[in-house]
């Protein structure tokens, strides 16, 4: 009895309690730091501080929550990375399908136009080839002769000219249900674009050493948006 009363009353370490609270709440770093400080103080207190068990529990929970958080971060990184890979693949597949359809429809158009295709210059390939595709396949702004790239071509209004053949209805700029038309915020189409929003390139320039096909070259600059790189999607 006298022995017990001669010992000073031990006090529970506030840091230990704090560590446990943080640990239970899965706040990892504070739980670990408070826990370690508490354990050291309790060890040096010569019995005046108690709560070693609380501090240990808080520290362990702190480490567990750091490990759990790390795993969650790694897993979510994998999920995001996987999703973006799938999206990239889907966009490439969509571009390949569009390329095949464009090639088929332009060939149909060319046959109907007696073999004539709008000639392009180097500037056209850069700046306007996307809209040449639209004129040919949607019949907008092609004039009374029904052929794109001739002197009677008119302004675009987003609708096929009277009597014009629509070769691919999905190029309708009003519904734009395939997002192939860029109107730059206005009513009138500015370019036929690939799944990455860049204009499709069309080249019909006899004598240009860059021209690959005898009829016409058609390509997307691909996911990287740069012309002439390995990811280009092209009809040669």
Provide the binding-site residues for Ca ion, judged by CB under 5 A. Answer: 142-143, 145, 147, 150, 152-153, 221-222, 224, 226, 229, 231-232
Q: Which is nearer to Ca ion, 103 or 232 (CB)?
A: 232
CA distance 23 to 110: 73
Q: How far is the CB of 215 from Ca ion (least distance, A)?
A: 20
Q: Which is nearer to Ca ion, 187 or 224 (CB)?
A: 224
Q: How far is the CB of 227 from Ca ion (least distance, A)?
A: 6
Minimum distance from CB of 98 to Ca ion (Å)? 15
Alpha helices in 113-208 (DSSP H): 122-127, 129-138
Q: Is 189 left (phi over 0), alpha (psi -120 to 50) or beta?
A: beta
Judged by CB, which is closer to Ca ion: 20, or 113? 113
Q: How far is the CB of 191 from Ca ion (least distance, A)?
A: 17
CB of 153 to Ca ion, least distance (A): 4
Helix (H) or strand (E) holding 108, with range, is helix 52-112
The answer to whether the CB of 112 falls within 8 A of the CB of 94 is no
User: What's the alpha-carbon Rg for the chain, to the nearest Å?
Assistant: 35
Nearer to Ca ion, 61 or 147 (CB): 147
Cβ nearer to Ca ion, comparing 26 with 116? 116
Per the listing, tokens 């005898």 go with: 214
Helix, coil or strand: residue 223 = coil
**Residue with structure tokens 């966009």?**
91
Structure tokens, 65? 């929550």
Residue number, 13 or 203, with CB nearest to Ca ion? 203
Nearest to 225 by CA among 203, 195, 184, 181: 195
Q: With b meaning 16 or more CB within 10 Å and e meaning fewer, what string describes 155-186? A: ebebebbeebbebbebbbbeeeeeebbbeeee
**Between residues 30 and 143, which has the closer beta carbon with respect to Ca ion?**
143
From the CB of 124, what's the least distance to Ca ion, in Å? 16
- Shortest Cβ 216–Ca ion spacing (Å): 17
DSSP classification of residue 4: H
Q: Tell me the two tokens of residue 205.
A: 């320039």
């Amino acid at each position: 009895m006298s022995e017990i009363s001669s010992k000073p009353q031990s006090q529970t370490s506030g840091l230990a309690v704090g560590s446990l609270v943080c640990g239970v709440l899965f706040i990892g770093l504070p739980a670990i730091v408070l826990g370690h400080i508490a354990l050291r103080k309790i060890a040096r207190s010569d019995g005046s501080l108690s709560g070693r068990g609380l501090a240990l529990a808080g520290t362990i929970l702190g480490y567990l929550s750091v490990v759990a958080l790390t795993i969650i971060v790694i897993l979510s990184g994998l999920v995001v990375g996987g999703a973006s890979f799938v999206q990239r693949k889907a966009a490439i597949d969509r571009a390949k399908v569009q390329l095949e359809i464009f090639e088929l429809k332009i060939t149909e158009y060319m046959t109907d136009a007696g073999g004539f295709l709008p000639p392009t210059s180097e500037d056209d390939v850069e700046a306007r080839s996307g809209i040449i595709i639209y004129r040919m396949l949607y019949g907008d702004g092609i004039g009374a002769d029904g052929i794109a790239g001739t002197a009677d071509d008119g302004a675009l209004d987003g609708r096929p000219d009277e009597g014009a053949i629509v070769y691919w209805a999905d190029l309708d700029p009003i519904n734009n249900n395939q997002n192939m038309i860029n109107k730059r915020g206005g009513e009138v189409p500015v370019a036929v674009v690939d799944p990455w929003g860049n204009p499709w390139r069309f080249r019909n320039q006899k004598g240009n050493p860059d021209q690959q096909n005898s009829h016409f070259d058609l390509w997307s600059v691909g996911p990287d948006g740069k012309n002439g790189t390995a990811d280009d999607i092209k009809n040669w």
